[in-house]
Amino acid sequence: MILVVAAEKGGVGKSTIALNLAVHLAVNDVDLVLVDTDTQRTCAQFVDRRDEAGIKPRIHCIQRTGNVANTLRDLDTKHQVVIVDAGGRDSIEMRSAATVAQLMLVPTGASQPDLETMPRVNEIIKTAKVYNPNLQAFAVLSMASPNPLVSETTEAQDLLQEFSEMHLADTVIRSRQIYKRAMADGIGVVETDHGQAKAEIQLLAQEFIDLE
């Protein structure tokens, strides 16, 4: 399975989702590779910190730029799951990854300005489906309020209805300091004792990735 985490806008938790899913799968003995195509190297630097600290399980991470389609196809024959951090912008990396992926997750904030970046992503997905009709794409509400009394999903669902190529994921990732602290320490939130953050990543994986 090739899973691409992509966004047209930075700062929406894209790398956070990619690397936390990778750690969750690794902890569950899934054979995976994390592919960092973003020039900011957020995922690659996270794995470097993890390796330097000697944290197990190790996360296999490679860096690639440009047209990554052939690389991802090859990796897909060698690993159960390939997770791609495709960068926070429209790029050849995002577009080429979308032509071979089974799943694209598009993190987005819940505000109108955040969701206004979605039309371009919708068009990218539509174009990719010409070559890859099996691609499924879901917007993931990320950076949501940690206050359980604040529900942002209704507004997001209403605004996403106009986008033909994406559905809204059931799982919501909330803005929590533990994500930043864990990343700085080279660990995933599933390796902490923060029950709420752990549950978010576990639920996101259960929603989209079959571990059987």
Q: Do the domain assignments include residue 212?
A: no
Q: Do the domain assignments include residue 49?
A: yes
Q: Do the domain assignments include residue 158?
A: yes
Cα–Cα dist 24/208, whole Å: 13
HSE-CB at 127 with a 13 A cutoff on CA atoms is 13
Instruction: Supply the pTM of this predicted model.
Output: 0.93
Q: Do the domain assignments include residue 193?
A: yes
Peptide bond into 148 cis (omega under 30): no
Q: At what angle do helices 14-27 and 42-52 cross, to 10 degrees?
A: 40
Q: Do the domain assignments include residue 98?
A: yes
119 contacts 163 by C-beta, under 8 angstroms: yes
What is the pLDDT tens value at each position of the chain, 212 positions in all? 999 999 887 788 899 999 999 999 999 999 999 999 988 899 999 999 999 999 999 999 999 999 999 999 999 999 999 999 997 678 999 999 999 999 999 998 877 777 777 888 899 999 999 999 999 999 998 887 787 666 667 767 777 777 789 888 999 999 999 999 999 999 999 999 999 999 999 999 999 997 66
Domains held by the chain: number: 1
Residue 183 belongs to domain spanning: 2-207
Domain of 45, CATH number, reads: 3.40.50.300
